[in-house]
Structure 1
């Protein structure tokens, strides 16, 4: 019954994307079916086989080791700073780790390791699905880099991108997450679901975007150039630049959390002046409960899970993960997995501004297009998160 419900949920998500499509006759049905099949294979391997679970455990162990190394650096600069009750400070123990992960990514980029991997995986994905190379490259790139960095990496191809192609690359950037932040996520929610979400989100973003904004690209307009992926002139400069970028990300996230969490408390205070005992999370929970049910969440957990999902959309994934972290012990394993995968993406209102600002810096004319389809972009990216989470729910 759970499997049937999951398949119905996937069908509903695809149907909603179909209704949003601006060119239904050009939808690449073959490529979409191939990507859905690949999602099922990946989810099955990672969640239902001993080999897959072993690989997940090893990868998680590798990330945990990197977290240990990063923690040593954090502890060095903090010295004997008192941590208070529980010994845990979110900014120190989670956000500052982004600096180390960003530095590692920068070094791997300078050494041309990541660009080569991304180029060939993207090329394979393009060949198998029939999707354009630029869109495939960008989708893979979005697993490793943030929204802005992923778009900047294809700036030399921007003049090839029409409105639909621009929608797809923007959706991939919003529907995925940066590897530099993965370590922070793994400190808040189960690591295995964060890792499962990475490849699934890549496919989900492409699937939904390819339905909403299908493209047909000639070979002349489908080129990928990864020669100028870094400005660093040595491995030490790459390490330093990556650390500085990570520091900026950590401060940006911290600043946004202060604003969003405070704003959420303000909204809840206003709501409770009118409706005693009611919160924004509860309202969002009831609104998203039907979708949560189709995703496979148990009836008695629908409102709480829907509230967390809604919080992520209106604020950001960090705020939602902090809320979710406190109730994970009270949730079933299936709900924890589904919600965790849903939260592991950049699909929220603030991302519209980030993507529009990045495109503005690259090509001011195309920035106007992003602003116009900003809401459609958020809906598409949210549907992509729902699709990934629903696929995971089938195997839990």
Structure 2
């Protein structure tokens, strides 16, 4: 029965995307079907086979080792601070972003990441029939942030019509940066965070390809991997990576201060009228119907819906901080579904980030992004729900 509900949820999610489509006749149903099958195979492999579980454990162990290396640098700088038993979020979690951003910059300078991204994108394009630029951007978005992924295809922006612009923007919003994954792993179960990376990548381009189908000439579909490269020396790459990571850590910290403070203000205002009611509870009731179909047990769906709603109106870090204490008290299925849903940049703030990045590349196209901003958020949220539903089938 639960599997049937999950299948129904997948159908509803894809159906909503179909209703939102601006060119229903040109939807690449073959590509959509292939990507859905790939998602099911990835999740089945990772969660139900010994080899898959070993792969997840191996990747998790690798990240944990990298986190240990990063902590050596953190301890050297702030090791003298006396903190409480629960630690300090900025020190324990956010400062790790600096190390991972530096590592990504070095791997890019050494030309290890660019060909991987290019050929993975090419493979996805060949299998699904999607354009190479969009496929490349989807893979690139898994490794780099929203801004960096879009900047990497800046030389192709003059080829992008509104539909193609929607797809690359949705990919940037639907994935997460590898530089931030280490921080996520400190808060939520690693196996669900890691499986969310490929699933959300495919979900983002699936939903976006339904909402904004593309049909282009091959000569307008060229990937320039040089835009991902890092110039200068390896030491310059390290320095730039560290500075970029520090900027991201400070931005996340600033957003958390703002969003959590504003959330408390909104809750205070709500409780002046409705005593005992919070914005999170309201969001929980709104999201509960789709949460039930996704596979969340009915006794946990309001709490889970509240977390998912919080992520949409604030950001994933705020939601993860609220979800973290719940992990030990709710079912494994709910933990998996909610974790995968949270592991993306699908929130209101991302509309501004994407629009701002595009404005720096092409001001005319930035106006288009702003016009379909809410549609962009809706599509990215549907993508997160699709990934979470697929994970729920195997839990």
TM-aligned CA deviation for residue 228 of structure 1:
3.5
Q: Which residue does 2:208 correspond to in 1? A: 209
> Cα deviation per residue 1:183-210 (whole Å; 9 max; x = unaligned)?
0000011011000000000100010000
TM-aligned CA deviation for residue 58 of structure 1:
0.5
Alpha-carbon distance change, 132 to 324 in structure 1, aligned in 2, over 3 angstroms: same
TM-aligned CA deviation for residue 329 of structure 1:
1.2
Alpha-carbon distance change, 379 to 87 in structure 1, aligned in 2, over 3 angstroms: closer
Contact 1:167 1:209 in 2 (8 A): yes
Task: Report the Cα distance in structure 2 between the residues aligned to 1:348 and 1:393, rounded to whole angstroms.
Answer: 22
Q: Which residue does 2:300 correspond to in 1? A: 301
Q: Which residue does 2:189 correspond to in 1? A: 190
Q: Which residue does 1:257 correspond to in 2? A: 256
Q: Which residue does 1:155 correspond to in 2? A: 154
Alpha-carbon distance change, 312 to 87 in structure 1, aligned in 2, over 3 angstroms: closer
Alignment of 1:167-316 (within 5 A): 167-316=166-315
Cα RMSD over matched residues?
0.7
Q: Which residue does 2:339 correspond to in 1? A: 340
Q: Which residue does 2:55 correspond to in 1? A: 55
What secondary structure does 2:22 align onto?
Answer: coil
Establish whether residue 10 from structure 1 lines up as the match of residue 27 from structure 2.
Answer: no
Which 5+ residue runs of structure 2 have no aligned equivalent? Answer: none
Contact 2:108 2:114 in 1 (8 A): yes
Establish whether residue 80 from structure 1 lines up as the match of residue 47 from structure 2.
Answer: no
Task: Report the Cα distance in structure 2 between the residues aligned to 1:64 and 1:211, rounded to whole angstroms.
Answer: 37
Q: Which residue does 1:100 correspond to in 2? A: 99
What secondary structure does 2:275 align onto?
Answer: coil
> Cα deviation per residue 1:86-144 (whole Å; 9 max; x = unaligned)?
15110000000000000000001111111100000000100000000000000000100
> Cα deviation per residue 1:282-329 (whole Å; 9 max; x = unaligned)?
000000000101110000001000000000000000000000001111
> Cα deviation per residue 1:228-283 (whole Å; 9 max; x = unaligned)?
32343111111111010000000000000000000001111111111111111100
TM-score by length of 2: 0.99
Task: Report the Cα distance in structure 2 between the residues aligned to 1:228 and 1:134, rounded to whole angstroms.
Answer: 12
Q: Which runs of 4+ in 1 moved over 6 A?
A: none
Contact 2:344 2:384 in 1 (8 A): yes
> Cα deviation per residue 1:11-70 (whole Å; 9 max; x = unaligned)?
000000000000000000000000000000000011111110110000000000011111
Which 5+ residue runs of structure 1 have no aligned equivalent? Answer: none
Task: Report the Cα distance in structure 2 between the residues aligned to 1:44 and 1:114, rounded to whole angstroms.
Answer: 27
TM-score by length of 1: 0.99
Contact 1:232 1:241 in 2 (8 A): no
Establish whether residue 319 from structure 1 lines up as the match of residue 318 from structure 2.
Answer: yes
